[in-house]
Amino acid sequence: MTFLERYQQEDTWHGRAMIMEIYHLAMRARTTKWTIEKTASHFEVSIGLVSENLRLAHALHIHPDLVKVETRQDALKRVK
């Protein structure tokens, strides 16, 4: 299963954020010129969504209880 397929099948906002983060970081490790724009293109989403998901994934590492927040929008409000 590809990252894109896994992302599309994931039901939770936090699962999607983590899948995107893992992919983005792995590609940056492989290619120093990897960008958020390339991640957005791979997942067929906006650059803004990638940026928000990376911010949420980072916050989840620091505050694991954030996973209990029901919606992505509520989680974004908490990490600002």
Is the pLDDT score of 6 beyond 80?
Answer: yes
Structure tokens at 24: 């983005």
pLDDT digits (tens, 9 = 90+) for 15-28: 999 999 999 999 99
Q: What type of residue is 35?
A: T
70 phi/psi in degrees, rounded to 5: -70, -40
pLDDT digits (tens, 9 = 90+) for 33-44: 999 999 999 999
pLDDT score recorded for residue 80: 77
Quick one: which of 39, 5, 9, 1 has its CA closest to 22?
39
Q: With contact defined as beta carbons under 8 Å apart, do 55 and 79 qualify? A: yes
pLDDT score recorded for residue 31: 95
pLDDT band at 64 (very low <50, low <70, confident <90, very high): very high
pLDDT score recorded for residue 53: 98
